[in-house]
Amino acid sequence: MSVHTFTLDGQPVAGAAGETILEVATEQGVSIPTLCHLDGLSSVGACRLCVVEVAGRPRPQPACITPVEEGMEVVTRSEELDEWRATVVEMLFVERNHICSICVANGDCELQDLAVDLGVDHFELPAMSPRLEIDSSHRLFAIDHNRCVLCTRCVRVCDEIEGAHTWDVMGRGIDARVVSDLGTPWGASPTCTSCGKCVQVCPTGALFEKGRAVGEGAKERRPFLPYLRRHGAGTR
């Protein structure tokens, strides 16, 4: 196994070839904010919360999909990175309708937690207030697009762990939506096994179990798939 040595916030570290910056940082106890990344699933670099600076590269790099290289100089904390990350969080909030006080995920939401961690206490950008749908046709679960951050965790867990591949992303940019079976109502999905894995991994209140009231999404939200538990889940 070949090993790459490089620096992480000035400290010399080593990582196996093929490892990502995020993996090595986690091994080293250096925490980098993430949202779309979830241990146990493939990484897609969808959210850009995990951006880090790499000397010699013009733009910040997503740590979750950037492999380590020999001699790299990586910076995980700086004022500029904090600002970038805070802006990403702000854009996620204003792009859809996040009304935490009446959300099923209130108090157990990774987007909410990120806002606290990054000091986002209001939004400079105006809210877009799009008109979005809720699909509650499934017997057990519902999806509220008002709360979706397009992390695609649901898409990946359904495909990679459950093997059903019910979910996909349709549309581009601001029009992108996660859809079940190419746009079939979830309740009519011929592929969904009702395993609930997508609900468990959803970082926000977008996917939830029916019958849960405001702030009740937490509880048994992620009791199974222990290897998929997000770090710090439910600790706040």
State the residues that interact with another protein by CB under 8 A. Answer: 97-103, 106-107, 109, 112-113, 115-116, 121-123, 126-127, 129-132, 215
Smallest distance, Å, CB 116 to another protein? 5
Nearer to ligand SF4, 9 or 90 (CB): 90
Provide the pairing of β-strand 61-62 with 51-54. Answer: antiparallel
Ranges assigned E (strand) in the chain: 3-8, 11-16, 51-54, 61-62, 73-75, 134-135, 141-144, 167-170, 177-180, 207-209
Give the number of other CB atoms < 10 A from CB of residue 230.
18
CA 221 to centroid of chain Cα atoms: 15
Smallest distance, Å, CB 84 to another protein? 20
Smallest distance, Å, CB 153 to ligand SF4? 4
Reference 63, options 72, 118, 79; nearest CA is 72
Q: Of ligand FES, another protein, ligand SF4, none, which one sits near residue 37, judging by CB under 5 to 8 A according to partner kind?
A: ligand FES
Q: Which amino acid is at 6?
A: F
**Which of 8, 13, 24, 50 forms a contact with ligand FES (CB under 6 A)?**
50
Please give the residue ranges that form the binding site for ligand FES (CB under 6 A): 34-37, 45-50, 62, 64
